[in-house]
Amino acid sequence: MFIYITRAVPEIVPQMLRSALPQARVEVNPHDRNLTHAEIATAARGADALVCTLADPVDAVLLQALAPPLRVVSTYAVGTNNIDLECAGRLGVRVCNTPGVLTDATAEVAVGLMLACARRFGEGERLTRAGRFEGWAPLFLRGQGVYGKTVGIVGAGRIGFRVARTMRKGFDCPILYTSRTPRPDWESELGARPAPLDDLLAQSDFVSLHCPLTPRTRHLIDAARLDLMKPTAVLVNTARGPVVDEAALADALRRGRIAGAGLDVYEHEPALAPGLANLDNVVVLPHLGSATVETRDEMGRMCAQAVIDVLSGREPAHAVA
């Protein structure tokens, strides 16, 4: 039995696998980088299980090269847009993810990005580090208040709800949301109002993206939709980079068409759209959404347990294919 892990993960993963499956050979990518498609195909040849990350393209070509004997792909992520689920199902390969565990951690980053953009934390921090802070002044780095501002949530899942609840309960913010299905729990607990996406963009002071990446949501926020937003509005993306047309966003920020953006994910990650990093009205983070010790360890536990369950003949708790 052979299990291959495509990137160094918390030690709990190999520990759990070796403890529960002592007969298994567990190998971890020894390089401190993502492997290429060809490298994964070579390193994981003969694997019964593949533990991957959201950066690994587990497409039909790779799946067909590995199955059989490949029986399970356990992704160290919630999103599965990098995995060909239809092909996996056809080949009898189970695909498992780590839902729920990163809700609070990602919501913290989304709320933090709203505050950082509104109050110009990034600009202030860079200026202070550079020794250019010359003392308090009445007109110095004035930002926008957050309390009572309208927050639009695009994608009414667990993370979106946590962000909405934090902004409603903590900052008295009216909440708008988009969802494929009505969310009476949002409406009863938070007083949230459903709205078509274009209306939400036009009415919100902060727009926070929490939708999955699908063909329908790729470039959901494009130049035309950015033009619907208030010139004082802030866009926050902690979902998936390609949900936003990043070149169009850079242009809108450069022109002052919207006030700011807070980004933790990127369309061509880790690269940023040309000029984006040079703009003062954008806060850029290196994909920190789930980056707490507690969250990353729990993601690892869930990844390992899925592999253990499938290879032991049990039904995994979080299978998506």
For 47-94, the pLDDT digits (tens) are 999 999 999 999 999 999 999 999 999 999 988 999 999 999 999 999
Question: Boundaries of CATH 3.40.50.720 in the chain?
Answer: 2-101+293-311, 103-284
| β-strand partners of 284 | 263
Q: Which of 27, 123, 189, 269 is flagged as catalytic? A: 269
Query: What distance in Å separates the CA atoms of residue 196 and residue 218, rounded to the nearest whole number?
Result: 17
* CATH fold label, 103-284: Rossmann fold (3.40.50)
Is 269 labeled as catalytic in the residue annotation? yes
> Residue 154 has what pLDDT?
98
Q: Is the pTM of this model over 0.85?
A: yes
Q: What's the whole-number mean pLDDT along residues 264-274?
A: 96
Is 27 labeled as catalytic in the residue annotation? no
For residue 28, pLDDT over 90 is answered with yes
**What are the two backbone dihedrals, phi and then psi, of residue 111, each rounded to the nearest 5 degrees?**
-65, -40
Is 240 labeled as catalytic in the residue annotation? yes
Q: Which of 240, 267, 296, 318 is flagged as catalytic? A: 240
Q: Which of 193, 219, 287, 301 is flagged as catalytic? A: 287
What CATH code is assigned to 2-101+293-311?
3.40.50.720
Query: What distance in Å separates the CA atoms of residue 229 and residue 203, rounded to the nearest whole number?
Result: 7
